[in-house]
Structure 1
């Protein structure tokens, strides 16, 4: 009997009769709504229009969700391209009949890449400043959103940690019986750590002049978030064993380039001076 363990067996969501409102989906909604509120305050401080903020919200939601989904499929579940193609883009599984699944299987690496691409398009079509100007600011609400996404993963009993090998840990009752042992709550480790990423970025934006150093806040975000991701992967079960059985796992290998890019923008990058 595990006296120091915590048994986790929540419902997946609220049953509304015709479909279930998943708590995981609600966490994404909270992430985007909170992010909008944070960005609204930043845009007011920067004297940007409400219209440009509305466009930013649309570009962010579409870009991040699409990138997160494609990232998961490409890096962890590429067989879906052949076996159940439309399930990649729709909240349904069509394999063996039509089943409502909600939007699940989202990868943060894909979301990060899509965020950069969508901000490039947003800047080109709407903002007309520089990509790094918007990236330096949008990473603040993104960091706050990451807190709730990982809480959603915990609620779903997914992206689980490895067994602790002791009585300490969380027992995920929704896992198969042979996997119901005390495990590291890896999702909570990440979620708690991302709170500090948000607070650090918030401090540097409001209390220092680092927002004027183009690329610094974006680089700081990459270094902090992906270093945390890299470290937590050591106590996290591999999402795809076939892709994670050599030296480091897939998540760690994918994190390293982001950390290096972040260091570059923090300490090496020099913006091009505009000719008058």
Structure 2
């Protein structure tokens, strides 16, 4: 290790008492969701949306994000294995060699799947509560980057989704992964970027609060997060070995390909697409 590199080897456990353990990743996921809950609660109250319509929102979001992120990882990154082990897609368990089961937690969550799951959950929420769909999407979008920031910090604590070797003395040495040379801390790059996107989004809301319900903030969120995700993937290792041949063939990995549709949708909403005007408030 040089004076310019960080020897990264934190414990994955935040707290352990007997057989009870709280992992950093789970804790940061909950912190991210909790912050989003508080932010959207305040937005609903400020916009005088009845609180009885806010109450079911967290349940829909939590289930949609978790199921979407889990199914997204299983079906987009390793469908061969998980389609033959469907129980492991939905439950945080892994089948052992001797045919038994062990609890592993959800080892694999995909942000693209989580985003798709969230949008489906919000559609169901809107059908129940009759709150305008674009207003809901805009309010959720204002809070989303801070949750994404917390999730990437969780990935950093787990030493997962690591970057490529920097080829210099700068970077993080992920000891838990057996590294001896520094890599790009891609998780930290994303966490910092998403935090900045959140701060900018809040500033935009304070100045252009009248745009809530037009799709503007939803478009801003999708465009900034997935454009940055597209770029930062060039500095990250692929998540699955089969992506190596994909990168060799087209120069892009699975995460980048999946980001493109979200970028297009984001730009469409950010620029005031026709459907946003149709579905928005008048």
Write out per-residue CA displacement over residues 18-53 of structure 1, whole angstroms, 9 at most, x where no aligned residue.
242211000111011111110111011111233222
CA distance in 2: counterparts of 1:154 and 1:38, whole angstroms: 24
Within 5 Å, give how 1:128-167 maps onto structure 2.
128-167=130-169
Structure 1 runs not aligned, ≥5 long: none
Query: Is the 2:171–2:185 contact (alpha carbons within 8 Å) kept by the matching residues of 1?
Result: yes
CA distance in 1: counterparts of 2:224 and 2:33, whole angstroms: 21
Q: Which residue of 2 aligns with 1:114?
A: 117
Query: Is the 1:25–1:102 contact (alpha carbons within 8 Å) kept by the matching residues of 2?
Result: no
Cα distance, 1:22–1:273 mapped onto 2, change above 3 Å: closer
CA distance in 2: counterparts of 1:273 and 1:183, whole angstroms: 45
Q: Which residue of 1 aligns with 2:223?
A: 223
Q: Which residue of 1 aligns with 2:184?
A: 184
Residue of structure 2 aligned with 1:102, choices 102, 105, 109: 105
The ranges of structure 1 where at least 4 consecutive aligned residues each deviate by more than 4 angstroms after the TM superposition are none
Equivalent residue pairs, number: 272
Aligned-CA RMSD value? 1.8
Write out per-residue CA displacement over residues 192-234 of structure 1, whole angstroms, 9 at most, x where no aligned residue.
0001111122122222145246111111111100011011101
Q: Which residue of 2 aligns with 1:123?
A: 126
CA distance in 2: counterparts of 1:71 and 1:116, whole angstroms: 13
Query: Is the 1:136–1:215 contact (alpha carbons within 8 Å) kept by the matching residues of 2?
Result: yes
CA distance in 2: counterparts of 1:273 and 1:131, whole angstroms: 7
TM-aligned CA deviation for residue 273 of structure 1: 8.3
CA distance in 1: counterparts of 2:92 and 2:26, whole angstroms: 11
CA distance in 1: counterparts of 2:3 and 2:214, whole angstroms: 51
Q: Which residue of 1 aligns with 2:254?
A: 250
Within 5 Å, give how 1:168-179 maps onto structure 2.
168-175=170-177, 177=178, 179=179
Cα distance, 1:115–1:273 mapped onto 2, change above 3 Å: closer
CA distance in 1: counterparts of 2:108 and 2:272, whole angstroms: 35
Cα distance, 1:273–1:48 mapped onto 2, change above 3 Å: closer
Query: Is the 1:83–1:95 contact (alpha carbons within 8 Å) kept by the matching residues of 2?
Result: no
Is residue 272 of structure 2 the alignment partner of residue 272 of structure 1?
Answer: no
Write out per-residue CA displacement over residues 149-199 of structure 1, whole angstroms, 9 at most, x where no aligned residue.
000000000000000011111011111x3x432000000000000011111
Write out per-residue CA displacement over residues 212-268 of structure 1, whole angstroms, 9 at most, x where no aligned residue.
461111111111000110111010000013134231111111111111111111224
TM-score by length of 1: 0.93
SS in 2 for 1:15: strand
TM-aligned CA deviation for residue 3 of structure 1: 3.0
CA distance in 2: counterparts of 1:31 and 1:210, whole angstroms: 26
Write out per-residue CA displacement over residues 108-155 of structure 1, whole angstroms, 9 at most, x where no aligned residue.
0001111111111000012x1322110011011211100100000000
Q: Which residue of 2 aligns with 1:25?
A: 26
